[in-house]
Chains A and B, each alone.
Chain A
Amino acid sequence: MAEAALAADVAHPPKTPPLAGRRYALEIRQHMAWRWQALILAAALLVGFAISAAILVAAGVPADELANEFVMQTFFDGQNFRAVLFQAAPMILVGLAGSIAFRARFWNLGLEGQMIWGAIGATTVSMWQIGPENLRLPLMFAAAIGCGLLWVLGPSWLKLKLGVNEIISTLMLNYMAANFLLHLVYGSWKDPKDNFPYSPQFRAFERLPELGAGVGSSILLAGVVALLAWWLVSVSRVGLYLRFVDANPRVAHANGVPVRRTIYGAVLLSGAMAGLAGFAVVAGQEGRLTQAFYQGYGFSGILIAFLARNNPLAATVVALLVAALFVTGRSLQVFYQVPFSMVQLIQAVIVVCVASSDFFIRHRLRRVGGEAAA
């Protein structure tokens, strides 16, 4: 067809190309107004929701109940909304942990391991009754931060000093942390009261207090951390350093950015935040160290950071939505016998849609040789 068009062009050089010769070329777009980016993102989310809705309907949820279950029941029913906030606090924290590390080009896949150690640190303070009662909770908080941070110190040192791939090292350390956790809860930390594999119940003053109206203070903690993270990346000088490290570490280094310190700082902060997520679960939700409290958070943290483009405020919003999905998923399980893994399927569908939308932000289709398109 192209050759035919060529032949026609030679015979009668046309002012405007013939229709048959029109083709579409893919161009890389340097820049797109943020309004358009938001619109494309919204369209991608809409497509993701539509596919998810179709899957749920196919799984037996009545179509007319979907909006009710997902929107009305989740956000406008007081009890469910409290459940969303309850669920969201650790999600926000792991999402932030992911965002900060990814901004320094450090693929911290060890969020779960750091979370486990944060929880173990907090529980240690409770078990050994370290410090006076009114200082117990702050000490647990500090222990969680410290333990999460230490668990990621090894991989970051290995990466910066010896060039060891952090994806492997952080991921493998998750298994070590998880098995050590099992060793504790099946071993010396087993609850002596009922011999179940979890630590003894925390005392009342060792648990995050309620703010009133059934809302826990862990969501407040997560909100404060989110604001601090936003301040760090958007307001402080460190944010500028991080953007340079992310954009091009060589350029950053040549221009006097303390690249290693910036990466260390971001990664240790990431570990600390993940540790804090562990604290939020044991002291805010479970009230004790359990054997599987961390499961799924690592994946969710990466997903939240990705969907939020590593922006702390966006991560907070995304984490709330993912939490809402979890809560709704549980009620769907109860009322319609939809398996809980459906929640993960929906998460994945939405991630794939948003990831694909990036293509339209970075490229544009342009008609080749048509009348001046601009």
Chain B
Amino acid sequence: MPNALELTGIRKSFDGFAALTEAHVSARWGEVHALLGENGAGKSSLMNIAAGLYAPEAGQLLVDDNAVRFAGPRDAAKHRIGMVHQHFKLVRPFTVAQNILLTAPPPAEFQSHGERLREIERDIRNKASELGFDIDPSKRIDALSIAEQQRVEILKVLLAGARILILDEPTAVLTDQEASRLLQTVQGLARAGAAVVLVTHKMADVKTYANRVTVMRGGRTVATLRPDEASVADLVKLTVGESIATQGFQASATSRGPVRLSVRGLRTPASPEGRRVLDGVDLELHAGEIYGLAGVGGNGQGELAGAIMGLPGEATEGEIRLEGHGDLKTMAASARRGIGIAAIPADRYGLALAGGLSVAENYAIGRVHTGRYGPVWRLRRGRIQSDTQEAVRAFDVQGVRSVAQKAALLSGGNAQKLVLAREFGKSPTLVLAHSPSRGLDVRASAEVHARLRAARDSGAAVLLISEDLDEVLQLADRVGVMTRGRIAGEFAQPADRQAIGQAMVDHG
């Protein structure tokens, strides 16, 4: 099979920090080529170069064995390269069709906007049914779940004519069933002749779906091999340089305490079609337990987390009671943080971190209300700096050259570690973790999980909302399944994986 895309000797640094030092990768027509590595290994940077977003400092880019140079994603698209980013690039208030129209090639002859839009909608329906996606082209992006948004991204690059498809951590946000469906779709595209680069850190996906895999570590590519000729242990060793034992479910060391959080009949107002995002959520969470809330994304998980955190949103009926504090409904978000509710939201740069502000400021905002950093009229900058440095070390946040650097410069996994450092810095009574290991590598996920277990063992109640069933089964003492805005079923551990999977897709 001839090479579709080849990158050789790529170097790239950001403000003097070398993200890529020596990277070589090639993808052939008709194959799924996995790019495997930890957070910050340089996978996304390398693929951003292939997609024309970054210009390399050295090295060559070849498409069909011809050297090319991209001044931007548009050039890459001309060479039929399309990338689906981990953080989607969609205009949220626009409809699916309008988003796809933005990148679609211009029509051969003049069309009115209405005609063009209808044509695009037709194309979307055709392509979607070809791929087995269920997408309404006239829906607005912000009305879609994350999994649906990802499908829109895939449709977008395909309808823009891409034949070399780069997917950055595509399964990070999907349920088991959705992920395997997506990867089968992707495999089908490769069989039909496309070249697919699958950026991932999931060994299982690599083993099952990739024809070849290139492993990256610390900004270089360390090996390219066939996954069927390597064991998972080999791959783990190549990615992390040492092997990490994967942990199974560990029951709590201590027995669970009294009910810490009780949610009763929580519902949001009905839409004109009579649908409620939250439709009577009832759940009880005890001190000293991890309650895992599994479910396909977009079934109200985000709204439930928002309601508990006290984010501005739709007014809800029902009650949210925290032990010792009564109903939280009238309590402001700031007060809720003050009574020990820690939150690790799914949307890292939308809710957890201000990318434009420094690492130290993002760390300090978690504890500044307690007065630890001085009274209202004076911030103790020295203490903020030393605390942040200490937390950065303790939580192993990589890529922090100075705590005054912008948080946006951290890679996804390291940004998440910074959030953890802040949220677990003050011993919380209730931890709200929404997809906490989304986009994180093996090592970072293991650290996140260890922190959640430690919080439970020290008596906190942990609500783990995750679309990754493996994660839920590994961590949770009890498992609930959320569908259509309510808890559809609860399972005690050890839980039957099949039964949970069934409950997730049942829409009874």
Q: Which of B32-65 contact A (CB under 8 A)?
A: 54-58, 60, 65
Question: Is B55 touching A368 in the complex (CB atoms < 8 A)?
Answer: yes
Question: Is A251 touching B379 in the complex (CB atoms < 8 A)?
Answer: no
Question: Is A251 touching B405 in the complex (CB atoms < 8 A)?
Answer: no
Q: Which of B342-377 contact A (CB under 8 A)?
A: 343, 345, 349-357, 361, 364-366, 368-369, 373-377
Cβ contacts under 8 Å, B361 to chain A: 240, 243-244
Question: Is B15 touching A23 in the complex (CB atoms < 8 A)?
Answer: no
Q: Mark A1-41, 1 if CB is under 8 A from B, else 0.
A: 00000100110010001000101010100110000000000
Cβ contacts under 8 Å, B65 to chain A: 10
Question: Is B72 touching A25 in the complex (CB atoms < 8 A)?
Answer: yes
B346 to chain A, nearest CB (A): 12
Question: Is B365 touching A244 in the complex (CB atoms < 8 A)?
Answer: yes
B357 to chain A, nearest CB (A): 5
Question: Is B377 touching A236 in the complex (CB atoms < 8 A)?
Answer: yes
Stretch at the interface among B135-143, B235-243, B273-281, B331-339: B331-339
Question: Is A258 touching B332 in the complex (CB atoms < 8 A)?
Answer: yes
B406 within 8 A of A: yes
A254 within 8 A of B: yes
Question: Is B345 touching A369 in the complex (CB atoms < 8 A)?
Answer: no
Question: Is A255 touching B337 in the complex (CB atoms < 8 A)?
Answer: yes
Question: Is A235 touching B357 in the complex (CB atoms < 8 A)?
Answer: no
Cβ contacts under 8 Å, B91 to chain A: none
CA distance A243 to B369 in the complex (A): 15
Given A27-B55, A31-B406, A258-B334, verify A251-B353 contact (CB < 8 Å). yes
Question: Is A254 touching B343 in the complex (CB atoms < 8 A)?
Answer: yes
For chain A, the bracket of interface size reads 35 or more
A295 within 8 A of B: no
A258 to chain B, nearest CB (A): 5
Given A21-B69, A372-B58, verify A237-B11 contact (CB < 8 Å). no
Question: Is A253 touching B311 in the complex (CB atoms < 8 A)?
Answer: yes
User: Which chain B residue shows the least CB distance to A21?
Assistant: B69
How many B residues face the partner with a CB closer than 8 A?
Answer: 56
B43 to chain A, nearest CB (A): 19
B66 within 8 A of A: yes
B418 to chain A, nearest CB (A): 12
Given A23-B71, A237-B373, A368-B69, verify A254-B309 contact (CB < 8 Å). yes
Question: Is A253 touching B374 in the complex (CB atoms < 8 A)?
Answer: no
CA distance A300 to B422 in the complex (A): 42
Given A25-B71, A236-B376, A236-B377, verify A251-B351 contact (CB < 8 Å). yes
Question: Is B68 touching A253 in the complex (CB atoms < 8 A)?
Answer: no
Question: Is B57 touching A372 in the complex (CB atoms < 8 A)?
Answer: yes
A248 within 8 A of B: yes
Cβ contacts under 8 Å, B55 to chain A: 25, 27, 366, 368-369
B408 within 8 A of A: yes
A162 within 8 A of B: no
User: Which chain B residue shows the least CB distance to A239?
Assistant: B379
Question: Is B69 touching A23 in the complex (CB atoms < 8 A)?
Answer: yes
B67 within 8 A of A: yes
Q: Which of A359-374 contact B (CB under 8 A)?
A: 366, 368-369, 371-374
Question: Is A31 touching B66 in the complex (CB atoms < 8 A)?
Answer: no
Cβ contacts under 8 Å, A10 to chain B: 65-67
Cβ contacts under 8 Å, B69 to chain A: 17, 21, 23, 368-369
User: Which chain A residue shows the least CB distance to B70?
Assistant: A368
A247 within 8 A of B: yes
B248 within 8 A of A: no
B378 within 8 A of A: yes
CA distance A328 to B124 in the complex (A): 64
Closest 6 CB pairs of A and B: A256-B337, A247-B354, A256-B334, A9-B67, A372-B58, A254-B351
